[in-house]
Structure 1
């Protein structure tokens, strides 16, 4: 099967599309109409491996968790692309999944969470987008619940541009591992980008355990990009697997 190299601007479940065509999360530009807006986005409606999904009835397949080797501290370019706040990184490490190495390109946020667990949304979800040399994507999803502060969010929010028209900011000290829960059990499944063009090229890993952020930290993002999530999609003939014991 031919693999497609996805440029950085598109290598995300919520990055800007290659076209300048505008899309959104509600009304006539919302998810129910994406396939009508561009013929290249038809898979958003007819695809059989679309994301996000409800993570339930997972099968324990004895899978190993991804081997995560992120930089202990990194700088990031913080942009608002009109759909989310996204942090682009370079030389920030990556993951190894099923023997394939993927490098971390960027991470971004959704409120509420895109995936649900047994039908429930978390207040926020972070997606870490990785790409292999062959062009495949591996995305790690981390649910964020209200609770104690997520320290490294402070440097990201401080660098956040005023809006999608403002120049990017630089967050100099991002501690990526702060986003990882202590329990690394995770859901695994094959899916897609969660925004146009909805390409079905993503290996998804979503941790079963959340991390926490204060209500104020979550509200900082949610007030800018409320309801920035695609509704869950049919599982069809796929299985949701779970790693760990």
Structure 2
């Protein structure tokens, strides 16, 4: 009886480790593993269902308030290198860990300096729906989200994502057009190298500033990350003009 009990405990412990390790692979953006279920299945992600400042949102232009004291957003102009990953849920660009000169994001609605870390690419199965944020109910073909962490208060992204004003998210809406963004083209030209989960490819010398549309106007609000665990630690900045990509891209 004692031997049988020991075996059961060992099996449960192993199973528990496997379940914990699989959370990051389990979630998706649709179906029974989609956003509506994130907080129900994993208690550590309960903010996904119980949070009060969850992202993404539907931006309603007629309800926005103008703030004359908001400043222009600043992003360092030097280029960076990193790796594009297919995580199984999305494509994510992560800056090189040994980068000596990081890109800082500051000013605008931000009270601190944020260190750029990664880019999430969101797009749909067709050219009509792909963006996470909507504008007056309209979904853009795609959305690019630049993330950085508060380098003045926290040591890294993992620590900052749980804390107040820990993360900045810059949202770039992507629209179909004839004049594509040159910097975006550098990135999308590598997509055919990351077709499968777990694949990755290096991307060298891209400029975040050149990736942005030519505008100083934006909408900002305090929300959450749009992936588990939906921590309400993100200052969102949604630029008021899209960047363009061709249908072929």
Calculate the TM-score normalised by the size of structure 1.
Answer: 0.76
How far apart are 1:153 and its partner, in Å?
Answer: 2.6
Q: Which residue of 2 aligns with 1:88?
A: 94
Write out aligned runs for 1:1-245 (5 A). Answer: 19-56=23-60, 57-89=63-95, 90=99, 91-97=101-107, 98-111=110-123, 112-133=130-151, 134=153, 135=160, 136-147=166-177, 148-160=179-191, 161-166=194-199, 168-217=200-249
Which structure's residues are more often strand, by fraction? 1
- Unaligned 5+ segments in structure 1 are 1-16, 218-245
SS at the partner of 1:141? Answer: strand
Which structure's residues are more often helix, by fraction? 2
Q: Aligned pair in 2 of structure 1 residues 200, 107: CA closer, same or farther (>3 Å)? A: same
Q: Identify the structure with bigger relative contact order (alpha carbons < 8 Å, sequence gap 6+).
A: 1
Is the 2:105–2:115 Cα contact (8 Å) retained in structure 1? yes
SS at the partner of 1:20? Answer: helix
Is the 1:125–1:143 Cα contact (8 Å) retained in structure 2? yes
Residues paired across the two proteins, number: 200
Task: Output the CA distance in 2 between the equivalents of 1:172 and 1:58.
Answer: 38
How far apart are 1:21 and its partner, in Å?
Answer: 4.6
- Unaligned 5+ segments in structure 2 are 1-20, 124-129, 154-159, 161-165
Q: Which residue of 1 aligns with 2:14?
A: none
Task: Output the CA distance in 2 between the equivalents of 1:210 and 1:24.
Answer: 26
How far apart are 1:103 and its partner, in Å?
Answer: 0.6
Q: Aligned pair in 2 of structure 1 residues 100, 149: CA closer, same or farther (>3 Å)? A: same
